[in-house]
A and B are shown apart, each in its own frame.
Chain A
Amino acid sequence: MKNFFLLLRRSYVLLLFLVLQGVCISLLVKYNKSHQARYMELAYDFTGSLNKKYADIVSYFSLSDNNKKLAEENNRLRNLLAENFTTIDTLSKLVRDTVKIDSSKVTRKFLWRTARVINNSVSSQNNFITLERGRLQGIGPEMAVVSASGIVGIVTDVSDNMAIVKSLLHRKSTTSVMLKNGGTTGLLEWDGVNPQALQLKGIPKSTVLKVGDTVLTSNISLNYPTGLMVGTISKVEKQTDGNNYRLQVKPGTNFYNVDFVDVIENLFLKEQQDLEQRGVKH
């Protein structure tokens, strides 16, 4: 009898061990499957606020660097101002438009919101970034995130005041990009090895390219506006088999010190997805 109780006591610990491991593994599997777990929101709000305090302290060390980057961006934007351009065109003359409907009306497609990075990782195989902006500030899943020097990732999960971004440095991240020179589109992925080298796939060998060429977001990307800076080609390998190059791209964003970013909402995203869904059904 004593032995029986001893056995029970012993297997009780083993049982508890197995139950706890079961909980862990199921959490892991569930989270990995969808990259978002609703029940984690509350916890992220807490760890997020802690991370924010920490980021506040750390950001002091990169102030000068950020100032420099902002100045550079200001400079670039000022150069785009309309005053900098002039039309030397004496042939055209001003004509009063008699059409009542404004045919040149534009509709906004992308909405930009700034956000601050309060947590960031580059060390794991699947990296995430936490932003201090959430549902209440208009952030939602599938929005694109870009920094001043290049694209960063896609929002996967939001709580009330925080958002989690799947960065380009994620093994399941794929981005549709194109070469600035020629416009050939390909897919950008990451193999989880080097944060300074992303893999660009699907560029046929007939394309003319060289190291240092610029890679931009493509016109068929759902989340990103067309023509945003992605990075530059850092290495060209010609595979002996297959029709495509094996290219490595150095991301424009420095993922080690990304601090302020813009979150871009595609206002047509739902409409496009719905339409394409309907197209698939037929």
Chain B
Amino acid sequence: MSEPIKQIFRFILFLLVQALVLSNMPPLNRFVTPYLYMLFLIWLPFSVPRHWMLVLGFITGFSLDLFTKTPGLHASASVFLAYIRTPFLRLLVPSDTKELKTGSPGIRSMGLTSYAFFVLLLTFFHHVWLVFIEWMSFGDIVYFLGKVFFTTLTSLLLIIITELLFRPIRKRRAD
């Protein structure tokens, strides 16, 4: 499958899972709303130019907003994620990595430690931004900190599961 088609397919899949399942199910707790859709942005190839990254971030977030009826909320958070993604990549990936032209972030291209750190940071900052905007209309610091912490935790759990299901390391090594 060619790269753009693969990405579009992935975009639709992540969006539907997020909008119809994760944002729709009864919450386990008021602090916990798991997010997975930003994995689409995290998994985009290294070679995507930065301004396209921003535009894609906006489109992704806004599409989700149309489902959740919060125009601007997720869009803002995912644009922020798209903006900080490149600096983090520069920080974590050595510039002589040979996959930098063709590959995308993953355990194989970045190494387990850097990749885990990369995902953790992006997810965390995305949630901080998202919950901060949501929180602006009613100030409750416990709610803010609690929601950031627990939502990040559940999202990371989901990301690990997705990672294990769809991008197993052993198979990637074989090819």
A-side interface residues toward B, CB under 8 Å? 12-13, 16-17, 20-21, 23-29, 31-32, 37, 40, 43-44, 46-47, 50-51, 54, 119-125, 128, 130, 164, 171, 192-194, 256
Contact = CB atoms under 8 A, between A and B. Distances in A.
Q: Say whether chain B's binding surface is mostly helix, strand, loop, or mixed.
A: helix
B94 interface: no
A207 to B, nearest CB: 29
Interface stretch (B40-48, B76-84, B99-107, B161-169): B76-84
A27 B75 contact: yes
Given A21-B79, A28-B70, A171-B138, A123 B27 contact: yes
Contacts of A130: 69
A31 B50 contact: no
B67 A21 contact: no
A98 to B, nearest CB: 60
Interface of B: 19-20, 23-27, 30, 33, 50-51, 54-55, 57-58, 61, 66-73, 75-76, 79-80, 83, 133-134, 137-138
Contact of A24 (B23, B75, B83): B75
A256 B73 CA distance: 23
B71 A27 contact: yes
Contacts of A17: 54, 79, 83
A18 B80 CA distance: 10
B76 A24 contact: yes
Contacts of B57: 20
21 contacts: A17-B54, A20-B54, A20-B58, A23-B72, A24-B72, A24-B73, A24-B75, A24-B79, A28-B73, A31-B70, A31-B72, A47-B19, A50-B67, A119-B24, A121-B23, A122-B27, A124-B134, A125-B134, A171-B137, A192-B138, A193-B30
A28 B79 CA distance: 14
A51 to B, nearest CB: 7
B80 A21 contact: yes
A256 B26 contact: yes
Contact of B71 (A13, A40, A120, A121): A40
A46 B66 contact: yes
Contacts of B33: 123-124
